[in-house]
Chain A
Amino acid sequence: VGSVAVEDQPDVSAVLSAYNQQGDPTMYEEYYSGLKHFIECSLDCHRAELSQLFYPLFVHMYLELVYNQHENEAKSFFEKFHGDQECYYQDDLRVLSSLTKKEHMKGNETMLDFRTSKFVLRISRDSYQLLKRHLQEKQNNQIWNIVQEHLYIDIFDGMPRSKQQIDAMVGSLAGEAKREANKSKVFFGLLKEPEIEVPLDDEDEEGENEEGKPKKKKPKKDSIGSKSKKQDPNAPPQNRIPLPELKDSDKLDKIMNMKETTKRVRLGPDCLPSICFYTFLNAYQQGLTAVDVTDDSSLIAGGFADSTVRVWSVTPKKLRSVKQAADLSLIDKESDDVLERIMDEKTASELKILYGHSGPVYGASFSPDRNYLLSSSEDGTVRLWSLQTFTCLVGYKGHNYPVWDTQFSPYGYYFVSGGHDRVARLWATDHYQPLRIFAGHLADVNCTRFHPNSNYVATGSADRTVRLWDVLNGNCVRIFTGHKGPIHSLTFSPNGRFLATGATDGRVLLWDIGHGLMVGELKGHTDTVCSLRFSRDGEILASGSMDNTVRLWDAVKAFEDLETDDFTTATGHINLPENSQELLLGTYMTKSTPVVHLHFTRRNLVLAAGAYSPQ
């Protein structure tokens, strides 16, 4: 099992000293151009694969020159060859270009990333042999040393990959994922739903029929019922991780959910969902940074740059706090409507503001039972708020640096957070220290999401990889590479099989979790994809972006004909169809309002949210 669990940060000077052995600084350009010439003259089938070497070699040679204080040589080396690198390395190159002195190398994260982790390349055996022969013939020890020490070449047998295949998978800070990193088994199935007796409401049923949507209902309802009762072969054992027990109120909510499910709109290319857009007005100065909507779509929370969290009720039911202790003692605890009596009618309002953070609030998440709200902030804390008293209950400290995202587990109790300290942490609401620390990302963890079965956590990072972590043991079970920019949004499909991720480059990538493969690429957005969400039945994928659009994609078609034959799964070499335009079902422009959050209601209505930002 390729686990990259908790990795100790090696001593900086020890890492750097690996660069001590050096050749003639003036020869570096010659070495590089010699290799470049060789690769460009090699056969077409090998050229694409060997071209992958350019970038890591370029970086390491440059760093060696800088480390050994050959400033001028380093500069001219950079000037000469940085134009050859693929455009998606531009951001890293920019960091590199400012790094011109040995002193700068200490404490530079990008540089350390390069040193502490071997850059992974996937090359076919034939191409590798070709390279090896060439380097040995030419006695090019400098390059051979770098290849040996700083690169990890994952050799596979079979046909060399094409340029497109390579381009689809590369782009991350540390190269591709090793093949064995994605080999472990993932239980991506859904947990069995607890059996709840649904009191058949005859009145309700009749009411439905009057509305003129008869007959079809019943079989659909049965299918939903039966699906949850059958054990999914891919599902983890029910008690793999301990989950909180269902309370009575949870059961009531589940019943509500099932009732709503029967009224759900069947979506498809011919039946697109309606989109209701919640615009945050006058929020440009305060800066809307995060939004969440409860599962039943009754509450909306907004996190703002002015450190506040605001909770709105979007139903006629207003937000009320519980009465003061003195008043509570006067209440007859035996009465039937005690839950109603404890609420203070005087505090009823549509909006509650939660004060407590001391920095912009970058993440917000409601608990599934709507009693709590989590918020994560620049001040390095995650706070748990009670939605009964509208006060802060706990401040979870541990990240020390800005916490970019947080999310409750779909079963409550657990939550995950990820931040600038490059780790994601798993917490339980009743522990002030994290239960797990998921370390391995080479840059900020930008977004975190729970798998629907609560056994896994996916994280998207600025190192342009997506990782899937096992909540049980903290192992990294999947590393997905292919994004060309920091990842800003993640979502699991409702059946747990697929993952969709969006990045600053405006592309959305689709992944098959079971096989550990990229299965689709959705191009269309022109700016960061901030939010992604599947419809409740998984037919439609909605994406919202900084380019002020909401786009709807045909998820059924995207996952329809997957290449999941043995060869593809074994090698991970996929051919992505260029079908973004066919999959795009609709584009909806907003009026200069970036789409920060998307949500499907239980009846498959899309709720989108964002702050109006005048140009």
Chain B
Amino acid sequence: MAEEKKLKLSNTVLPSESMKVVAESMGIAQIQDETCQLLADEVSYRIKEIAQDALKFMHMGKRRKLTTSDIDYALKLKNVEPLYGFHAQEFIPFRSASGGGRQLYFNEEKEVDLSDIINTPLPRVPLDVCLKAHWLSIEGCQPAIPENPPPAPKDQQKAEATEPLKSAKPGQEEDGPLKSKGQRASPADGKGKEKKAPPLLEGGPFRLKPRSIHELSVEQQLYYKEITEACVGSCEAKRAGALQSIATDPGLYQMLPRFSTFISEGVRVNVVQNNLALLIYLMRMVKALMDNPTLYLEKYVHELIPAVMTCIVSRQLCLRPDVDNHWALRDFAARLVAQICKHFSTTTNNIQSRITKTFTKSWVDEKTPWTTRYGSIAGLAELGHDVIETLILPRLQQEGEQIRSVLDGPVLSNIDRIGADHVQSLLLKHCAPVLAKLRPPPDNQDAYQAEFGSLGPLLCSHVVKARAQAALQAQQVNRTTLTITQTRHTLTLSQASQPGPQTPGLLKVPVSIALPVQTLVSARAAVPPQPSPPPTKFIVMSPSSSASFTQQVLSLSTSAPGSSSTTTSPVTTTVPSVQPIVKLVSTATAAPPSTAPSGPGSVQKYIVVSFPPTGDSKGGPTSHPSPVPPQS
């Protein structure tokens, strides 16, 4: 206890000036300093006494927060009339005013017009107290249900994954539930002896790490079946619910290995079959798993990384590479890999450097097809500015030559042309902001040409644009950041109903549809209510008939606030490409009629994407889309 001994107690006393102010407010103008001092001492003492009594009421009321009523009761103990008018449960907004060299804190009391109160409709009656039972523990094992906190907190999972010896040490509070799990298992599977056999270990410094159980309960099996079916099924609403469940449910720890295998196997099969839609769904599952605050994926990255990497660099991801937008999938997966790196890369597993090496290797190879090339660059670019600076910029010249040879050369293959075009715009997109930071203005076309070769002029104009945008953002930062910061990436896929055999199993969503985000879990009465961020809604609207579209793959995403590269653009890169208009609307101003029930108090964000009538901007493949308002 010696180390705790050093406690600091100081006797704080109210300033004697406040006595003066109080006296003045009571009409006593002249009051001696000495009197003030005496009063201040006395008042401070009494206030402390009352505060100490009020604490007693807080403790007996089984609360951790002192309320105004506690102070009233403490006053009552001393036979003092309580202070009327303070009934705020949370906090009392004291205002401060200063003037004449004095500071004053007061509780602002507004004049109330009684007729207003009488005429306003009555507020909703608060919910009555009710009783709800759930299992906190079943024979020593805590069931993973929403009513209970997550079975293994993320920190513990992390500690287990990274420092296995430490977490097995006795004395850790957290290993309580796990320990009892082991105990429950031993009599159940008849191996109770096994645990008791080495009595030497009992009480000694050793403690065996408890075996974790990998049997799923019937409910969990049902859940797993439902969720996986919904994730890859044809109903978008169901999928949104399932993904929401994966991203928020606390009890998925035990099912993680299954999900992980499901995803890696799914990617393996669907890459071979070039089933773009399914690959997208699987990537969205990965994203949802990453987003779940109770899951720590460290143990499963060895399965997830190859799957995600496949979706980035695979030579072919869809049946018709010239038409389908597999680029969006590559972008999305690239962001996922970057996120994985950020979370799980350590000095021991070297994930980031291994990934970087893989990307670089496939990019450097001359024979690499354009699709893979695109994926590698996207993967590298998402890893951050440093990687772009050290790995991509030096190769710009070389890459530019290759691109030019394809674009300007004799038309060998349309697919190559599209690929080269995409690579070019990708490079421009990622390199421009980096260069804008690295190089001091002014931007000279020739200097760029000299340094970066054929890409130089384009780069230069992009850098100029990037600078302009940065300046614009700096101005608008107050207005835009609040509405745009979103923590989740979402990849939505919507397409026009299109006859054709090529898209079996793909969902058919009319272009004009609002996707209400429902959750599967919401059907269960999740009580105590689960705090979850309000889901972002994407409302896709179309002013014209959708018949004229061939296929639209939209990717809308924003990265976590704080990260610098928040480039967001609906990438529509189909042959007859159109320019979408993206608007951000907050519910406060305009609430679309199709709002899903929203959590109280949360401001919902909508992104309204509308397509201008066709023919408006039917640019060729070279015209890069999206004059999107810059978002960051």
The interface residues of chain B lying within 8 Å CB-to-CB of A323 are none
The interface residues of chain A lying within 8 Å CB-to-CB of B77 are 401-402, 420
Please tell me if B131 contacts chain A, counting CB pairs below 8 Å: yes
Which of A134-142, A279-287, A391-399 participates in binding chain B?
Answer: A279-287
A378 to B57, CA, bound (A): 9
User: Contact mask A80-107 → B, CB, 8 Å, 1/0?
Assistant: 0011111110100111011111011000
Q: Which of A84, A269, A276, A302 contacts B135 (CB 8 A)?
A: A276
Task: Closest A residue to B179 by CB, please name it.
Answer: A586
Q: Which of B4, B139, B177 contacts A274 (CB 8 A)?
A: B139
Known: A95-B52, A98-B48. A271 touches B139 (CB 8 A): yes
The interface residues of chain A lying within 8 Å CB-to-CB of B529 are 614
The interface residues of chain B lying within 8 Å CB-to-CB of A546 are 62, 64
Q: Which of A84, A98, A302 contacts B44 (CB 8 A)?
A: A98
A108 to B127, CA, bound (A): 43
Q: Are A586 and B5 in contact (CB under 8 A)?
A: no
A359 to B136, CA, bound (A): 32
Known: A272-B140, A277-B134, A524-B173. A612 touches B129 (CB 8 A): no
> Quick one: which of B23-80 are within 8 Å of A by CB?
41-42, 44-45, 48-49, 52, 56-57, 59-64, 69, 73, 77
Please tell me if B180 contacts chain A, counting CB pairs below 8 Å: yes
Q: Which of B11, B63, B89, B528 contacts A281 (CB 8 A)?
A: B528
A550 to B184, CA, bound (A): 18
What's the minimum C-beta distance from B341 to chain A, rounded to whole angstroms? 32
User: Contact mask A566-588 → B, CB, 8 Å, 1/0?
Assistant: 00000000000000011011111
A420 to B74, CA, bound (A): 11
Please tell me if B183 contacts chain A, counting CB pairs below 8 Å: yes
Indicate the member of A101, A524, A586 with the most B CB atoms within 10 Å.
A586
Please tell me if B160 contacts chain A, counting CB pairs below 8 Å: no
| Majority secondary structure of chain A interface residues (helix, strand, loop or mixed) | mixed
Please tell me if A563 contacts chain B, counting CB pairs below 8 Å: no
Q: Are A588 and B142 in contact (CB under 8 A)?
A: yes
Please tell me if B171 contacts chain A, counting CB pairs below 8 Å: yes
Q: Are A275 and B136 in contact (CB under 8 A)?
A: yes
Q: Are B139 and A272 in contact (CB under 8 A)?
A: yes
A362 to B147, CA, bound (A): 27
> Quick one: which of B491-550 are within 8 Å of A by CB?
527-529
Known: A272-B140, A587-B177, A588-B137. A304 touches B5 (CB 8 A): no
What's the minimum C-beta distance from A334 to chain B, rounded to whole angstroms? 39
Q: Which of A286, A591, A594 contacts B147 (CB 8 A)?
A: A591
The interface residues of chain A lying within 8 Å CB-to-CB of B5 are 83-87
A397 to B623, CA, bound (A): 88
Q: Are B69 and A305 in contact (CB under 8 A)?
A: yes
What's the minimum C-beta distance from B32 to chain A, rounded to whole angstroms? 18
Q: Are B136 and A608 in contact (CB under 8 A)?
A: yes
What's the minimum C-beta distance from A122 to chain B, rounded to whole angstroms? 19
User: Contact mask B158-173 → A, CB, 8 Å, 1/0?
Assistant: 0000000000001101
A396 to B559, CA, bound (A): 65
Task: Closest B residue to A446 by CB, please name it.
Answer: B60
The interface residues of chain A lying within 8 Å CB-to-CB of B186 are 270
Q: Are B59 and A586 in contact (CB under 8 A)?
A: no
Q: State the total of A-B contacts with C-beta under 8 angstroms.
A: 198
Task: Closest B residue to A94 by CB, please name it.
Answer: B9
Q: Are A276 and B73 in contact (CB under 8 A)?
A: no
Please tell me if B130 contacts chain A, counting CB pairs below 8 Å: yes
Please tell me if A590 contacts chain B, counting CB pairs below 8 Å: yes
Task: Closest B residue to A548 by CB, please name it.
Answer: B149
Please tell me if B148 contacts chain A, counting CB pairs below 8 Å: yes
Indicate the member of A98, A524, A593 with the most B CB atoms within 10 Å.
A98
The interface residues of chain A lying within 8 Å CB-to-CB of B8 are 83
Q: Are A282 and B142 in contact (CB under 8 A)?
A: no
The interface residues of chain A lying within 8 Å CB-to-CB of B89 are 285
Q: Which of B57, B148, B170, B527 contacts A589 (CB 8 A)?
A: B148
Q: Are A272 and B183 in contact (CB under 8 A)?
A: yes
Q: Are A274 and B528 in contact (CB under 8 A)?
A: no
Q: Are B59 and A99 in contact (CB under 8 A)?
A: no
The interface residues of chain A lying within 8 Å CB-to-CB of B6 are 83
The interface residues of chain B lying within 8 Å CB-to-CB of A281 are 127, 129-132, 527-528
Q: Are A276 and B136 in contact (CB under 8 A)?
A: yes
Please tell me if A360 contacts chain B, counting CB pairs below 8 Å: yes
The interface residues of chain A lying within 8 Å CB-to-CB of B134 are 276-277, 279
Known: A272-B183, A274-B135, A302-B129. A82 touches B62 (CB 8 A): no
Q: Are A591 and B528 in contact (CB under 8 A)?
A: yes
Q: Are A277 and B133 in contact (CB under 8 A)?
A: yes
The interface residues of chain B lying within 8 Å CB-to-CB of A591 are 147-149, 528
Please tell me if A488 contacts chain B, counting CB pairs below 8 Å: yes
> Quick one: which of A265-316 are within 8 Å of B by CB?
269-283, 285-289, 300, 302, 304-305, 310, 312, 314
The interface residues of chain A lying within 8 Å CB-to-CB of B126 are 282, 285
What's the minimum C-beta distance from B353 to chain A, rounded to whole angstroms? 38
Please tell me if B128 contacts chain A, counting CB pairs below 8 Å: yes
Known: A269-B183, A488-B59. A279 touches B11 (CB 8 A): no
> Quick one: which of A333-385 are within 8 Å of B by CB?
359-360, 362, 378
14 A-B residue pairs with Cβ-Cβ distance under 8 Å, sorted by A, are A86-B5, A87-B4, A90-B9, A100-B11, A273-B139, A273-B140, A275-B136, A276-B133, A276-B135, A279-B133, A282-B128, A283-B129, A286-B129, A596-B62
Residues in A lying within 8 Å of B, measured CB to CB: 75, 78, 82-88, 90, 93-95, 97-101, 103-104, 108, 167, 269-283, 285-289, 300, 302, 304-305, 310, 312, 314, 359-360, 362, 378, 401-402, 404, 420, 444, 446, 462, 486, 488, 504, 524, 528, 530, 546, 550-552, 581-582, 584-594, 596, 606, 608, 611-614
A-B pairs, 7 with minimum CB distance: A272-B140, A587-B176, A277-B136, A275-B136, A275-B137, A87-B4, A98-B48
